[in-house]
Chain A
Amino acid sequence: MRKTKWSFLLTLMLVLSVFVAACSGGGEATPEETPADEGTTTEGEATTPEEPASDVAQVLNVLETAEIPTMDTVMGTDAVAFEWGNAVFEGLYALGENAQPVPGVAESHEVSEDGKVYTFKLREDAVWSDGSQVVADDFIFTWQKVVNPETGSQYNFIMGDILNANSIMAGEMTPDQLGVKAIDETTLEVTLEQPVDYFLSLTAFPVYFPQKREFVEAQGENYALEVENLLFNGPFVMTEWKHEEGWVLKKNPNYWDKDVVKLEEINIKVVKDVATGVNLYDTGKVDRAGLTSEFVDKYRNDPAFTTIEETVVFWFKMNQENEALANENIRKAIALGVDRQGLTDVILNNGSIPAYTAVPKGFVSHPETGEEFNDKYGNFYEFDADLALEHWNKGLEELGLTELSLEILGGDTETAKKSDAYFKDQLEKHLPGLTVTLLEVPFKQRLELDETQQYDLQVAGWGPDYLDAMTFVDLWVTGGGHNMMSYSNPEFDQLIEDSKTNLTGVERFEAMQEAARIVMEDAAFSPLYQRARAVLIQPYIKDMFVLPFGPDYTYKWASIEK
């Protein structure tokens, strides 16, 4: 028996030793391993590993939750594509600190009197990574590609303000009829359908970025599939791209503004699991990690902890095809009857804040006074149980009812389910006689039900498409594609119409504020909360600016300071 025992133990040891041997590959960072993997920012990667870190290496390690869906700026639709597109390409203008447009490929611009014609002067030292200059034709080529329905760009609506763009997208005109013209190699003239206050910020959006005509045409089907099928003109270039695993960016030596760019290298790895990301952060492998509510309490007091308010709002849509919801008092009662603080502080617990306005806080400010959009009229229908009850009773009386049953249509994620359960509880508590049922469905299904207006109350959210209040305000026009509530207010419609056609600047801004006020007073819908995200960001990272839409961060000005 002894012999057997030993021979088995031996085999067991052999099996285990395979793994122990593997262990020798190193659990800690070693210089042979690819820099994309474990380079902590204390060890220089440019010089030999033994050298002491006197000069802090400008290497940033971050995570991404998904693989880049596409590096073709024309086809991008999500935050991942936008973020990294924004790092390696550049448009006419770029968004810098506080999302202010700063010159990019264009060194300056002029606007015509009527606000409809922009003339951009391109700088001569803006080059592609093959050394060739970025010319006006590159923009024309790309923008025509965007509006061409055959390209299938899902974000092309964002060019809707350019002359003829909408007709081209509808197939009524040809792409070459787009309102863009090259006056000469470095002068680009853009004609708009109507003046657009925020056009400069639009040009900073990746869909507006240029692509080099000859290169793209030469690449054909392969364009943007791999690193070698791309040309870059941004602050960084992509040097490595391992699909599903990660990619590496290095400072672009030919970038016209390279002296401003401090980071030498950015390593991005794809990690979908939040706990894994936190573990990587704790072991010093990455400098930034996203947190979900379970982790918030643990790291709340960590110096690296921060919450970033996003410009995304969630609200109750109220379908006025439902007789009860067509009654204004009922709607006001619902708007007043939910204590949003309970939701944000307990359930979400990630820095999200209650919302009481049609446009999120911190999104846009008055062009002259700099005052925040919502400051003028303040919050609407803040939680008030007594007032809610008052309106509720009035509404019921008007309808001749004593009780009411409503269904909340919501999502099926963990967060959604918890939130919806909370809403149900709140409404039933504060509005006696109300019975709430919940319908929890996947995203796509909810959209379908929205499109066919088959719901009573719906929890929906919206994020901005461009840097202007209109992206939130025009949702509620009569018969609008996102209205779907049968809400109609002609005064509101008029204000929107005017803002889109003949108003500009301060007038326009104030008209939108007015429109927002109207739709809020009507209690057409009830904002619930503005989303934020909790993140751990190493305090030694400086000037990694947060953007309100499109990319989450911009890296051009970022640096490591220890």
Chain B
Amino acid sequence: MAKYILKRVAFSFITLLIIASITFFLMKLMPGTPFTAQEKLTEVQIEILNEKYNLNDPVPVQYAKYIGNMLKGDLGVSFQFDNRNVTDLILDRIGPSAHLGLQTLIFGAIAGIIFGVIAALKQNTMWDYGSTFLAVLGKSIPNFVFAGMLQYFIGVKLGWFPVAFWEGPSYTVMPTIANAMFTLAVAARFMRTEMIEVLSSDYIVTAKAKGLSSAVVTIKHGLRNGLIPLVTVLGPLAAGLLTGSLVIERIFAIPGLGEQFVRSITTNDFPMIMGITLFYSVFLIFVILLVDILYGIIDPRIRLAGGNK
């Protein structure tokens, strides 16, 4: 198992380097530098700024400098915010995004699993239809519509939760719910299908024949097997959360990384774009690694296929 993990980590690292390089060259292809847009700059000033940020060096040189610095943990200085370095800027803002993302994933997955299992157990009853309806809503309505509705009806009209900002647990409730709807929907549908299949398996009958209560049968025997495919979906779901949260962060004025990312792109802030892309990549690769490991833990068949004699 350890060897397996080590190998995956090494691959992850190489993947990161490739991602960094591709992003770098893609950005270089974009027309202009951040200073093209400033109407009020003189030629001289543009020259000086380009010099300052090494934009006049030949591309391979810029690339080498960049990779070199990256390995040292120095992601450069942001173009937008005079004199602040990218690593600090990202670290400042990553907290709320990570918090929101994690909470969303946990809430969405757990709630989704619960709804899905209930739907499977009570197939073709109101519980099932209700759960399906929720799932359809969750998947088809974009999260910012939820966000806007929650903010207006619950935040303004009812006043149950704060309208915006990120200053305590109560602030995280509406953003999490809005953000988690999609995850919830996917998890619910998935679990429903899986559980229906699992619950009709032979080993479930065996378990019942042992005299175990239906709760134990469903949870201990059924759920674990039903969860396996869900874990595989969690990887891409987590990735989706990164991009989905951009709008939520904006609407609820959450000081996270997502909005910053968008602004960096529109202002051609190369170092920020690279830095955030790298962070996202690290996060994703980590999640995928985690999912692989989790997969191995839950399904012993996978685990042993790798290392058993």
Contact = CB atoms under 8 A, between A and B. Distances in A.
Contacts of A5: 118, 121
A245 B166 CA distance: 9
B41 interface: yes
A271 B38 CA distance: 24
Given A38-B162, A170-B44, A283-B156, 14 more contacts: A22-B170, A23-B161, A26-B168, A27-B160, A27-B161, A70-B81, A149-B44, A152-B45, A152-B49, A157-B42, A171-B44, A243-B89, A244-B259, A245-B165
Interface in B6-21: none
A230 B37 CA distance: 29
B259 A225 contact: no
Interface stretch (A6-14, A306-314, A351-359, A502-510): A6-14
A16 B98 CA distance: 21
B97 to A, nearest CB: 11
13 contacts: A4-B218, A5-B118, A26-B170, A37-B165, A150-B48, A244-B260, A245-B253, A270-B255, A283-B155, A285-B163, A443-B37, A444-B268, A465-B40
Contact of B214 (A4, A77, A245): A4
A154 B250 contact: no
Contact of B31 (A224, A244, A245, A448): A448
Contacts of B266: 442
Contacts of A24: 170
A284 to B, nearest CB: 10
Interface in A162-192: 169-171
Interface string B101-124: 000000100110010011001000
A246 to B, nearest CB: 8
B83 interface: yes
Contacts of A66: 263
Contacts of A242: 255
A276 B173 contact: no
A218 interface: no
Interface string B47-86: 0110010000000000000000000000000001111100
Interface string A421-451: 0000000000000000000001111011000
Interface string B156-189: 1001111111111111110010000000000000
Contacts of B291: none
B250 A27 contact: no
Contacts of A279: 151-152, 155-156, 163-164
Contacts of A416: none
B126 interface: no
Contacts of B255: 242-245, 270
Nearest to A11: B114
B214 A3 contact: yes
Contacts of B49: 152, 154
Contacts of A221: 83
A25 interface: yes
Q: Which 10 A-B pairs rank lowest in CB-CB distance, beginning with the nearest?
A: A22-B169, A244-B255, A25-B170, A271-B253, A245-B255, A25-B168, A444-B37, A70-B82, A279-B163, A273-B251
Interface string A70-97: 1010010100000000000000000000
Nearest to B257: A244
Contacts of A170: 44
Contacts of B81: 67, 69-70
A34 interface: yes
A75 B82 contact: yes
Nearest to A465: B40
Contacts, number: 165
B110 A15 contact: yes
Chain B interface mostly: helix
A86 B269 CA distance: 26
A280 B163 contact: yes
A410 to B, nearest CB: 16
Nearest to B252: A276
A461 B173 CA distance: 42
Interface residues of B, number: 65
A3 B212 CA distance: 12
B111 A282 contact: no
A244 B92 contact: yes
Interface centre among A11, A25, A276 (most CB of B within 10 A): A276
B308 interface: no
Interface string B246-288: 0000111101000110010010100000000000000000000
Contacts of A25: 168-171
B39 interface: yes
B32 interface: yes
B268 A269 contact: no
B235 interface: no
Interface in A248-304: 269-273, 275-276, 279-280, 282-283, 285
A69 B80 contact: yes
Contacts of B163: 276, 279-280, 283, 285
A169 B253 contact: no
A15 B111 contact: yes
Nearest to A150: B48
A482 interface: yes
B107 A15 contact: yes
B221 interface: no
Contacts of A169: 42, 44-45
A276 B110 contact: no
Contacts of B164: 269, 271, 276, 279-280
Contacts of A8: 114, 117-118, 121
A481 to B, nearest CB: 9
Nearest to A171: B44
A28 B253 contact: no
B215 interface: yes
Nearest to B114: A12
A154 B45 contact: yes
Nearest to B115: A12
Contact of A447 (B39, B156, B159, B218): B39
A155 B39 CA distance: 10
Given A8-B117, A11-B114, A482-B39, A33 B45 contact: no
A276 B107 contact: no
A346 interface: no
Contacts of B166: 245
B93 interface: yes
A276 B250 CA distance: 9
